Every structure is written in structure tokens, then in C-alpha cells.
Structure 1
Amino acid sequence: MDVPFKTIIRKSIGMGQNDPDFDKIADFQGPRTRFNPLILADYGRNIYNRGQRIGYCLDIRICGYRGLPINQIRALTFEVDGVAIPEESLSIWYENRQHPFADVGTDKIEINWFWKYGDYLRIFIEVPGGIEQGIHDVKFGLALRDHYSSTAYCAKPVTIV
């Protein structure tokens, strides 16, 4: 006697069609996201070009205990002093290379370019005039592709020098 195949439907646990867009900080503040104050450095700095402030940098760490290719970064979301930072303003600086965040996950970044555990990944935020020196409230969300601890969130004061 032939037994027909039984279709098994897997309900989403936060992946697939129910996965958030990760385009705002609120997407990182859910039951499947870990708060981790260690993934964002306590300091940042303005970046100058020919004497003019062109933006500022913040340093972030990976939210697990192993490294992964840069192309595995799915989303980076920042909010500084209550203002959301558009993705178009973000660039990655790591191992003497710079790429716009929009290049992550494309063939513009080599698949063997690894973000090593314990290393800071410098994020350049292009804002004409930079940001005032001092303490700023920074909220940061990180989502990774195919990683056991795929999302993390941090909110803390950061000193910009």
C-alpha cells in the first residue's frame, strides 16, 4: 500500500517572511535579540578631510564568539541622539579597506574578507560637519546572516572626540 507524502509545514520562528526589515532600532528590540553592551565601543571620533569635519566613526564588535565574512552582515542600524542614521551614510573601514555599507552582501566585497572575533569594525558615518565633541546617546543594532547569534542590540552613551 502506497502512503502519500505528508507535507510538513514549518512555522517561522522569526525567519523568512516574518523576519523584520532591521531598518529601525525597534526591529532589534524583540524577544530574539540580545542586548549586549560590549558590541559598541565607548568612544568615537570625528574624521577630517583638509581641515573640514566630514563625518565620524564608531567602532563595533561582532555579537558572537567567532569571526565571519564581512558579507555575512545583514544589517547595521544606528540612532544617534534620537536621530536615525540612513544606510546611505554608512561605510565600513576594516584592515585598510573602505566600502559603502550598500556593497556588503554583493560581489564588490571578497567572500574571504573576514571580520575576526575581538576586532573592532570601524563604521564611518558621513555627516557634513561631523558631530559635536562630547557624550552622545547611541543605539545600535546588528543583524548577521546564517549565524547562531544573529541579532544584537546596544544602547549607551558614547564619547566623541
Structure 2
Amino acid sequence: MEKQVIQSVGFRNTKNDKGEITGFQFKVRLPYYRGIFLSQIRPGTLYVDGKKIDNDQITWTINGEEFTNEEMAVDFQTHWATTKPAVLKVKLAGGLEQGYHDLKYGFCFTSSYMPPIIQSGLNPDKESMVFMPEFGHHVNERHLLIV
């Protein structure tokens, strides 16, 4: 795997069973040494050539299974290992034109040993919660070629 989060290998247009180009895909690696469960992922925003892609157009393939962002949010059992890249598939009629494209994508995740919400001991009379920041916010930009 490459050092960058967005991998250059695997960037290509995707086709349906009829051979029609229905979108494109690219791979991302997890920049965390332990691996995480899917419910820990906080998907970010994808920009392709400066245009924002809606999250509902993106699915993640991890361990050979495809997930929407909503499915990942409640999946506490599927583990994403740090040694296996995820494939992000983007629905985009006609895919991307042949040539170079600029991809910018960021995501973050919560750490398995730091809960996202903890009880605050500052005011025991009130139920006060402290929301922990998410860890590992990675924004990566790549200039990649589709042939």
C-alpha cells in the first residue's frame, strides 16, 4: 500500500452487468495502526475535480462486503484491518472521462479506547455529557489518472 490515504491503484470507472459505465471507484487505506469497527468511521466529503459528491452516492466495500454510510454507522461487528484498503464506489452516470482527475476526500474515526461520549464529573447534580472529538481526521488529495 502507498503512504497516502487515497491509493492510486484501483482508481477506475465501474460498469454494470450490461457493460454500461455507472460510476467510478478508488481505494483508501486506514491510517491507524489498530484497525477499527465500521461504526467508528465518520465518512467525510468527497470532491472530484472541485465538485462535491453527495454521500448517498458512495458505498464502501470492506472485506468484500458493500456498505452505505448508514449501514456502517450501526455495524459494530465488521472490522476494517489496517492492512486492507477499502474500496469506495461512487455512482456517477457515465463515470469519469479518461485523463487526470483531482480527488479530495477526508474521513475520521473514533478511537476504540476513547468513547465518543463520556459522563462529566464537573456537575454531579446535572446529567452533563462531554463529547470527545473524533480522532484521525485525514484529508487526502490526489491527482490520479483514469485510462
Normalising by the smaller structure, the TM-score range is 0.7 to 0.9
Deviations 1:5-55 (A, max 9, x none): xxxxxxxxxxxxxxxxxxxxxxxxxxxxxxxx6111124011101110011
Deviations 1:96-138 (A, max 9, x none): 21122222212xx3x2211101211000001111111221011
Rounded Cα–Cα distance in structure 2 between residues aligned with 1:59 and 1:86: 18
Look up the match of 1:39: 5
Rounded Cα–Cα distance in structure 2 between residues aligned with 1:133 and 1:70: 32
Q: Does 1:152 find its partner at 2:133?
A: no
Structure 1, unaligned runs of 5 or more: 1-36
Task: Give the 3-state SS of the residue equivalent to 2:45 in structure 1.
Answer: strand
Q: 1:76: Cα distance to partner?
A: 2.6
Look up the match of 1:78: 46
Q: Does 1:57 find its partner at 2:63?
A: no
The answer to whether the 8 Å contact 1:92/1:123 transfers is yes
Structure 2, unaligned runs of 5 or more: 113-133
TM-score (norm 2): 0.76
**Which of 1 and 2 has higher RCO (CA within 8 Å, sep 6+)?**
1
Give 1 or 2: higher strand fraction: 2
- The share of aligned pairs that are identical, in percent, is 24
Q: 1:149: Cα distance to partner?
A: 4.2
Task: Give the 3-state SS of the residue equivalent to 1:104 in structure 2.
Answer: helix
Give 1 or 2: higher helix fraction: 1
Amino acid at match of 1:41: Q
Look up the match of 1:17: none
Residue pairs, 1:7-156, within 5 angstroms? 38-43=4-9, 44-49=11-16, 50-106=18-74, 109=75, 111-146=76-111, 149-156=135-142
The answer to whether the 8 Å contact 2:61/2:86 transfers is yes
